[in-house]
Copies of this chain bind each other. A is one copy, B any other.
Amino acid sequence: MAQATGPSRSQPATLSDVARLAGVSIATASKALNGRSQVRAETRQRVIEAAERLSFRPNQLARGLLAGRTGTVGLLTSDLEGRFSIPILMGAEDAFGAGEVAVFLCDARGDAIREQHHVRALLGRRVDGLIVVGSRTDPRPSLGRELPVPVVYAYAPSEDPADLSIVPDSVGAGRIAVDHLLACGRSRIAHITGDPGYLAAQERAVGARAALADAGLALVGEPRFGVWSEGWGRAATAMLLDQHPDVDAVLCGSDQIARGVMDVLRERGHRVPEDVAVMGFDNWQVLTSASRPPLTSVDMNLEQVGRAAAHALFTAIAGARRSGVETLPCRVVIRGSTAPLS
């Protein structure tokens, strides 16, 4: 009953179909299509035309079964919803797509059980490697050393130093942010940032202080930790202006916070950037370009993190293992909210 190539939808052509149509053996057809040299040019041409006519696509399953390599990798995110996973994922997909590698996407939704389940499923499909994408930069548990394929951790590093992790340089990000404000001639710089439980918040503050110290300066007051929201940005700014009305720059832990900061600054009659310069982190387009004025922000180069992770996985699959945490530099994107003091 099943062989009716009939009405609806025929099976895809197989290599033996091509061989039959071209009047050669399966082996010859394979060699002709793969550019092997043991086949006459004329024969090769005949095979190629036959494959064309049948719109033959080699079955990657069979190929993978034989080769022991499938040309697939697993991309395991812990949180698709969060906006940090997406650019990383794009970078990785981009890097792999160019190399004929297909990507299995799995979202663990922050659940370790589900993550374990996905890992097992991916290994059953014989992926050549795994990329684990976190939703924040705090270290996360390793998947273990016993996996049969290489693993690269992106954004959230593994707790096990034997694993390879690719993360943005948060300390450096704090540094270059302050360097930019210093270059704008600011010297009374405050720092309003988010949840102190986030390593990124701590590291950016460390970098900012280090850059100020190098210039013989210090923050105006202590860093103000809170939550990653506009509301906190507004509240913290109100307090800041009460205590330090002479502040000439505010470095904000995120673009959202910066948005709130700028609103209150404007409401209180401080001009941005003439009186107070404002910077954010993350360079989240929808916020930076909607602000008045557009917001200068530190871009974490997440797409590049994804690409680097993909590249590292490539080389690991080829046999060259690395380990440890590798950091990638961030960059300042200058917009209207920061400008030299006139």
Contacts and interface: CB of A to CB of B under 8 A. Distances in A.
Contacts of A81: 86, 90
Given A102-B121, A290-B256, A59 B126 contact: yes
Contacts of A230: 290
Copy tally for this chain in the complex stands at 2
A105 interface: yes
Interface in A22-80: 57-62, 64-65, 68, 70, 72, 75, 80
A103 B104 contact: yes
A290 B229 contact: yes
Contacts of A72: 104, 125
A181 interface: no
Contacts of A268: none
A122 B102 contact: yes
B286 A124 contact: no
A166 interface: no
Given A72-B104, A97-B106, 9 more contacts: A60-B125, A61-B70, A72-B125, A81-B90, A90-B107, A97-B107, A102-B125, A104-B105, A256-B290
User: Can you list the 9 inter-chain pairs with the closest CB atoms, starting with the nearest?
Assistant: A105-B105, A230-B290, A57-B124, A60-B125, A61-B65, A61-B61, A60-B124, A102-B104, A80-B90
